[in-house]
Amino acid sequence: MTMYPLLFEPKLLEKVWGGHSIHQWKFGTQTEQPIGESWEIFSENVIRNGAHAGMTLQSLIESNPEAMIGKHEPEEFPLLVKILDAKEWLSVQVHPDDTLAMELEGESRGKTECWYILQADEGSCIQYDLKNNCTVEDYSDAITEGQPKRCLEFLPVKAGDIIYVPAGTVHAIGPGIMLYELQQTSDTTYRLYDWDRVGLDGKFRDLHIEKGLRCSKPGSGIFPYPIHDALILDGNRVLPLIREKYFALDEVTLGNKPYSLTMNGKPVLLTNIGKYEIHVRYGDMTVIVPIASSVFLPAALEQVFIGSEVQDQSVQVLIAAQHDI
């Protein structure tokens, strides 16, 4: 079975807190609906190019796990890539780790994630972790007393910032932010506070105070996250952003020569965050990756070359892969 760089139909989700930047960025037009999330690469994404068009990512993994993920047996792909656009605050929330996901929900995977800030209005901020010396018991008391914001830490962010959000970190994304999210494949979310608003259906959304407090681990977040020095490889600037359990993430600014990327027996997830289309070459095949699009590079490709016809510092990609420590 022939493998090649896979493009997908993104899954666009309407959210009460969503905006209009994702559709504008991807397609050059706006929608009336508040689109909060675009699921770029996940197990049920539908492939839109080449011989495997119409299949889902997961179905292709199941039919050929060795070529797709470098393993003899198929499994649900463990990483998920999203683009999020927040016009309003997301709920204050927390995700379980692997152990608590199994205990509380019977699921094998929790949710650790990271964010790369793509755009941020002046003054934009996130809610990240609890204030110093604020315990889970203190936060529980604050919620009971009707002051759910009392223990929350708020931090300013700007474009280019990297935020690591390990499971157990209480967090929320603030208005005026569009970001890239790399996460474990899980949608288990426990809302602790939802800003006293109603959802798209006109009803208050459910809160999950007991489970959320059970999962909360004050002090588990790392901000600012330590960034390593950039490397220059054949004129391409490679900035290592994240090296943690579950995933690794790099920012690559393309130079005047194609960037050589080796799979190392694992698939790679690439997202074009720049202002121009990029070209991914494998053997005699070249796949064009439009602006604001993502591509799955199967493990069997071994090596690809990433380039652009434009020489500009705004030709940038994010490159993600599984990582074990």
The catalytic site residues sit at: 191
Distance between CA atoms of 216 and 170, rounded to whole angstroms? 6
- Of residues 53, 26, 29, 30, the one with CA closest to residue 39: 26
- Of residues 293, 294, 248, the one with CA closest to residue 27: 293
Q: What angle do CA 109, 263, 61 make, to 5 degrees?
A: 50
Is residue 305 within 8 A of residue 252, CB to CB? The reply is no
Q: For the chain, how long is the longest CA-to-CA vector?
A: 65
CA distances to 38, 151, 299 from 57, rounded to whole Å, are 16, 41, 13
Q: Which tokens belong to 312?
A: 């500009």
Residues in the chain: 325
DSSP assignment of 91-106 equals PEEE---HHHHHHHH-
- Could you tell me which residues come within 8 angstroms of residue 188 by beta carbon, excluding any fewer than 6 positions away? 95, 96, 101, 105, 107, 110, 111
**Region of 294 on the Ramachandran plot (φ > 0 left; ψ -120 to 50 alpha; else beta):** beta
Beta bridge partners of 114: 164, 182
Helix (H) or strand (E) holding 113: strand 113-120
